Structure 1
Amino acid sequence: MKKKSEGRLAIVWLALIQGVLASGAVEVKPSINPAVVGDSVTLSLSPLTNLRSGSWAVGESLILTWVGDQQAVFPAHSGRASVNVLTGALALNSVTVADSGVYVLQSSNPELKAAASIAVFEPISNVTLRANRTQLVELSSSAVFTCSVSSGSSLSFLWMNASAELQRRDGVQLTDGNATLTIANVTRHDRGPFRCRAFNPVSHGTSDRVNLTISYGPDHMALTVNGQNTTSFDAGSNLTVLCSALSHPPAQLRWAFRGQLVNTTGPLLQRFNVVEEQSGPYSCLAFNNHTGMNSSITARIEIAKTSSRSEQQAINVMLLPLLLLVELLSLLPEKL
């Protein structure tokens, strides 16, 4: 009676197990996922299950089949795939990117079907950044960067300007799977340094820096006289007029007085012991031979007229009799 009960219990447990397997409760778990090219990957069942026969396939391509302790590996995986004939675990050696896919296990004894996907990636090496050219002119040139790798699969790209991620804006375009960066009509703020970062789930790499030389200006010109904001001075003063302009490369500077060029170049114009006749408009002219652009700024400087020494002496002579009279009156007796 006891043996019959144990037999019935075993049958019930077997039915339950087969029901669980058929319901898909068994999972296939890869030992590594994602995997790197050259890795060995084992696809095992969880929970552990005893299988007496079955087959493994990736997509619609059979890898191997087995019955009992006999297994047959199909040519595409010959020497690289084997199965544990007791547990149904599939071992793949020296995997390649082509081994990525959905792996399906089917068994009729007991009946079950389970699947899992694995992804295999080639590590990234030698990330290289190239620019179509590095000498550009502001608002009239475009920069095109290309990021490439010597090896690596399923690549993603991130672009950096200086130490921050490149901000998307008008004129900035990413193409070729983000491997190509185009900046249309560069500005002086697009000098870089630029870098690209390539990555996939198993590795990453960053390129060397590339800098751009952007020619711009001249613009934002300014004039100061003797380091002051005022432009009115007394006759006899010494004047130092300073001209500045934003420009790369530095602008060539020339000077003009009342619309006529003077024999002075560079940022400084100096005048000593100025006179009233030197009042008028002073202009600084800037030219950048890389951009072909020019700009100018003008300030009117007024020289105030002051009395000469001879004029002052004449005034003093005229006042002398009056001063003598005052002095004499102060000496007379009070009764008079």
Structure 2
Amino acid sequence: MAKLSGPVIGEGYVGRISLDNSTGSLELLKLTIADNGEYRVILRESDLMYLSNTSLNVYDGPDGMEIKGPTKIEVGQKFTLTCSTDSNPPASYTWVLNGTKIPGHSPEFTKQKSEYSDSGDYTCTATNDVTGNKISVVLKLSVKDAL
């Protein structure tokens, strides 16, 4: 903890926090998902102590999206593609293969037995239903003959 001009401020908040000692008003700047949580302000004046508790839920994202999975497989092989992103609330997902929507809203897409028609561009789109923000990433998959 850092101590600046009287109030005790956590290191992650230095330069992002404003506290009005006369009212107990706390202002956080440049919010991130990491700021989610419970907050307590304690004001001491003479022999009196004032406590105030509140919770903060920061809605943000999706950010930092990626698709993990193979880019080359053999026909008949099982494959899984996994889409991930940082989002609060958690994002909903859609998958598209070569312009055709794949049913479902899971961050994971699995095919038990690949076919040549599974080759192409897999687009995963993550949507934060609260913020309305969307982000998409593409993975190119090539299905080849078994050796």
Give the TM bin, normalised by the shorter chain. 0.7 to 0.9
Residues 178 and 166 of structure 1, relative CA distance in 2, 3 Å threshold: farther
Equivalences for residues 171-320 of structure 1 within 5 A: 172-175=17-20, 177=22, 179-201=24-46, 203=47, 205=49, 207-225=51-69, 230-306=70-146
CA contact (8 A) 1:275 1:305 kept: no
TM-score of the aligned structures, taking structure 1 as reference length: 0.38
Residues 195 and 165 of structure 1, relative CA distance in 2, 3 Å threshold: farther
What is the CA distance between 1:159 and its match in structure 2?
5.7
User: Aligned with 1:189: secondary structure?
Assistant: helix
Rounded Cα–Cα distance in structure 1 between residues aligned with 2:32 and 2:11: 17
User: Aligned with 1:300: secondary structure?
Assistant: strand
Rounded Cα–Cα distance in structure 2 between residues aligned with 1:263 and 1:305: 27
Per-residue deviation, residues 273-302 of structure 1 (Å, max 9, x unmatched): 212232111111111111110011111111
Unaligned 5+ runs, structure 1: 1-156, 308-336
Matched-pair identity in %:
23
What is the CA distance between 1:166 and its match in structure 2?
7.6
User: Aligned with 2:33: secondary structure?
Assistant: coil
Rounded Cα–Cα distance in structure 2 between residues aligned with 1:292 and 1:174: 31
**Mapped pair 1:168 → 2:14:** yes
What is the CA distance between 1:205 and its match in structure 2?
3.0
Q: Which is strand-richer, 1 or 2?
A: 2
Equivalences for residues 311-330 of structure 1 within 5 A: none
TM-score of the aligned structures, taking structure 2 as reference length: 0.80
Q: Which is helix-richer, 1 or 2?
A: 1
Backbone CA RMSD of aligned residues: 2.7
- Equivalent residue letter for 1:182: E
Rounded Cα–Cα distance in structure 2 between residues aligned with 1:178 and 1:166: 23
Rounded Cα–Cα distance in structure 2 between residues aligned with 1:159 and 1:204: 18
Higher relative contact order (CA 8 A, sep 6+): 2
Residue 7 of structure 2: aligned partner? 158
Rounded Cα–Cα distance in structure 2 between residues aligned with 1:167 and 1:265: 36
Residues 169 and 280 of structure 1, relative CA distance in 2, 3 Å threshold: same
Structure with the greater alpha carbon radius of gyration: 1
Rounded Cα–Cα distance in structure 1 between residues aligned with 2:18 and 2:111: 53
Residues 197 and 266 of structure 1, relative CA distance in 2, 3 Å threshold: same
What is the CA distance between 1:189 and its match in structure 2?
2.6
User: Aligned with 1:207: secondary structure?
Assistant: strand
CA contact (8 A) 1:255 1:283 kept: yes
